[in-house]
Amino acid sequence: SVNPDLASERQTASFSVEKLTALLDGGTEQTRIRRAVVEAIESDPVFSRENQYFQTQNERYEAAVRKAVHLQKKVHDMGWTENGPEYKYIYRALSGDVAFLLHRVFMRSISVLGSDKQIAKWIPLATQHKLIGSYAQTELGHGTYLQGLETTAVFDTATQEFILNTPKISAMKWWPGDMGRSATHTVVFAQLYIHEKCYGIHPFIVQIRSLQDHSLCPGVTAGDIGPKMNFEHIDNGYLLLKNVRIPRENMLSKFCEVRPDGTYVRQGSQKINYFTMTTVRISLISDEVLTPLMKACTIAIRYSVVRRQSKLKPGEQEAKILDYQTQQEKLLPQLAAAYAFHFINDYLQELFNRGYREIQRKNFDRLPELHALSSGFKAVITQHSTAGVEICLRACGGHGYSLLSGLPSLYTKILASCIYEGENTILLLQTARFLIKCFMAVSAGQPVPPSVTYLAAMKPGKCPAKNKLDFLSPDIYTEAYQHVAVRLISSTAVKLQDLIQSGVKKHDAWNQCTVQLVQAAKAHCHYIAVKNFAETVEKLETKAGIQKIMKHLCDLFALHGIFSNTGAFLHDGYTSAAQMDMVTASYLDLLAVIRKDAVPLVDAFDFTDKSLNSALGSYDGQVYQRLYEWAQKSPTNQMSPAYERYLKPLLHNTLSKL
């Protein structure tokens, strides 16, 4: 039975939840397929996450390996193929709780970096799981800065082998997933040396464990890097190589080859490689960032209509905590952001599909723009979403702090997305570099890519809003965001130029501008996200109330951004103080409007109870019963030796009756 405090929230929905779900999925047929995959996975006990919060790191790893192995069978039994429509839902249905994700990266790196001959040899072996692959790039001493990697691969002409070494401790491979305990093979990135000349970083296929008994190969030291904030199910590993010899054919050689005599030959364009990195950054947004944010919103909002605390009005029943303005102000902007990011993700996907078609036609013109957008949005979305999940956790008070709420593990996992696949600050600076370059080009009257043509449109004007309702006009707020982005980019470009002209060396000048460059890159992405949300809303069908509620969310997303960052809008007087008060008023009004639809808006995300795995967020809202039931299953409720060992001796002088 559904908690009446939750049930009542659903009766007043201003729109069709089912239609919104279909919109998010990209059509009713997609919804049907997704639900079928979820049903198939969740009905299979091997994939259960029931005891997850009680398991040790070792138990989590065992379970993830078991699931990965079972998944092969499941995929086969269900007839799901890699190009079929079901495939993309599997990972979400598993909540990512499965091993061998790096096996796919191993395969992709061979497909992209390997010669046709190498692909023909290794891909079938990997596909049939005759080996388990990993991808060994990051070292103890080097992450983002790939050129600094220290592992060496020296070509030995006599034996036609590469000799791989970890010359010092900071060169040890560190973090690669699936490598600590599972992988038999890995792609090692190392500095290539031929006749004592260094040719830079190249990829090599290295076997690290025996296929007979899984023991480490000669010269290989490997193991697990130990406990992390999350990812207990993954055996992130370390790898130390001592004179490990591999045949010449194991250097992935689509772009670079070492001939038998030691001649180094570079062939083809490596530009496609940058595109791959770009694709990875975009592809992680949906599963690793949006899904956790949407889950956190679902849990926190459902809980906030079931939890009653204190009285809003004297003499009345205690109020649902979502009726407090402060609680709305915590949660509803996160909900709006989840929708905003969903739509910007659609936009990026579409952009990348187009980019990919161009690249297949050997047209690399759009690559810099794609790289800048993927870097900037990866950083902005991961950062914003991580903060959002944390806000959801805190907004649930003590119960949010219990692992049983599901929120702590969502938080500790999404936090990693700010670090992996490019640390966010570094990514934002890459976006900033592109923006500064484009600003210079625009200033010189040269053409620039579509997403930055607005830089040419810098107008001195003022925000034309006259009352608080004007701030519910997308033209008004989009223009304001654009103005701020242009101002921050141009003023930082000017500072940079001034510093250089005053004699500061170029690299020092850049470093002295980086705090502001990061702000400029964020402003650019924020502007595009707002603009895209507004454009998306405009295109929605006006039926079934969906356009209306999406318009509210778009307004909230935009006004929350202004309200939280008023200085950027006030700075040059584009927005006046009186206008800022209008923004605040409209923003606070919107909270009360969206609050009415808050539960239907999270219901539309369509998470099953099993996928939420939360005592606070289930569809029926029976929070307290579930917390109690789950707690009783905790291993901390088994007999503890502490009483016999420590407490009994301490209490030995007790009175039989106090």
Closest CB 469 distance from a second copy, rounded Å: 18
Q: Compute φ and ψ for 341, nearest 5 degrees.
A: -75, -30
Pairing of strands 185-194, 152-156: parallel
Residue 193 has a CB neighbour count (10 Å cut-off) of 16
Query: Shortest CA distance to 356 belongs to which of 276, 430, 422?
Result: 276
Give exposure, 507-521, as e/b (b: 16+ Cβ within 10 Å).
eebbeebeebbbbbb
- What is the rounded CA–CA span in Å between residue 481 and residue 525? 10
**Residues 6 or more apart in contact with residue 112 via CB below 8 angstroms:** 254, 272, 273, 276
Cα 291 versus chain centre, distance: 9
Nearer to a second copy, 181 or 366 (CB): 181
Query: Is 362:384 a contact under the CB 8 Å cutoff?
Result: no
Amino acid at 140: L
Nearer to a second copy, 148 or 545 (CB): 148
Nearer to a second copy, 263 or 501 (CB): 501
Closest CB 552 distance from a second copy, rounded Å: 18
Helix residue ranges per DSSP H, 504-641: 506-539, 546-563, 566-570, 577-595, 598-603, 609-612, 623-632
Q: What is the DSSP track for 309-352?
A: -S-SSTTSPPPBGGGSHHHHHHHHHHHHHHHHHHHHHHHHHHHH
Residue 413 has a CB neighbour count (10 Å cut-off) of 18
Q: In the beta sheet, which residues pair with residue 164?
A: 153, 244
Closest CB 350 distance from a second copy, rounded Å: 31
Nearer to a second copy, 144 or 267 (CB): 144
Closest CB 570 distance from a second copy, rounded Å: 4
Closest CB 596 distance from a second copy, rounded Å: 16
Query: Is 312:326 a contact under the CB 8 Å cutoff?
Result: no
Is residue 177 marked as binding? yes
Closest CB 544 distance from a second copy, rounded Å: 31
Question: Which residues are tagged catalytic?
Answer: 421
The DSSP output letter for 289 is: I
Nearer to a second copy, 84 or 397 (CB): 397
Is residue 152 marked as binding? no
Nearer to a second copy, 473 or 514 (CB): 514
What is the helix (H) or strand (E) element at residue 207, kind and residue range?
strand 197-207
**Binding-site residues, please?**
138, 177
**Binding-site residues for FAD, please?**
138, 177
